[in-house]
Amino acid sequence: MGEQRKRDGMTTFALIHGAGGCGWVWHLLEEELRCIGHETLAPDLPCEDDSCGFAEYAEAVVEAVDGSGTSGDVVVVGHSLGGCTAPLPAGLLGATQLGMLAAMVPEPGESRDAWWSNTGYPRAVAKQAARDGAIHKTEVSRGTPTR
């Protein structure tokens, strides 16, 4: 994994979507990056497969980069739940930078399910909903807001 790429000044951006997303969510950013000479990869992760976890998501990113024939530096960017995955392929690929965009950043060993309550997310959603006058319910199991 993480085969050696030659350094030619061009950067490859490996863009990792969040839960419930797909690589397409990055299409506008990909267009902008390509316009200024960079390459982009935004693989679909196997999120629909409940037997897959962060290691399998990371493998999908590494395979996409290694199989693309791109060269140059690699920057890995994780969005939302992709923030839990991003450090893994970044390390395997020897990425020069790791970016996080509104990303979940767990403590070492913290599960994605524990992250919700450990960060205080359910309380923050309820507090903001009360301020906004909105009616929100929070799922107890995941801490994700619903209306």
Mean local confidence (pLDDT), 65-86: 93
Strand bridging mode 145-146 / 137-138: antiparallel
User: Looking at residue 135, what is its pLDDT?
Assistant: 62
Give the per-residue pLDDT at 8. 56
- Extract the tokens encoding 101: 């965009």
**Nearest by Cα to 77 from 90, 68, 65:** 90
pLDDT for residue 3 is more than 80:
no
Q: Cβ neighbours of residue 135 under 8 Å, at least 6 residues apart?
A: 129, 147
Strands 11-16 and 73-80, by their bridges, are parallel
Domain ranges of the chain: 1-105, 113-147
- Tokens for 88, please give them: 């893994």
Assess contact for 58 and 89: CB atoms under 8 A.
Answer: yes
H, E, C per residue of 18-77: CCCCCHHHHHHHHHHHHHCCCEEECCCCCCCCCCCCHHHHHHHHHHHHHCCCCCCEEEEE
Asked if residue 26 lies in contact with residue 4, where contact means CB atoms within 8 angstroms, the answer is no
* Of the listed ranges 9-18, 46-55, 102-111, 133-142, the one predicted with least confidence: 133-142
The class level of CATH for 1-105 reads alpha beta
Average pLDDT over residues 67-82: 92
Bridge partners, residue 36, by sequence: none
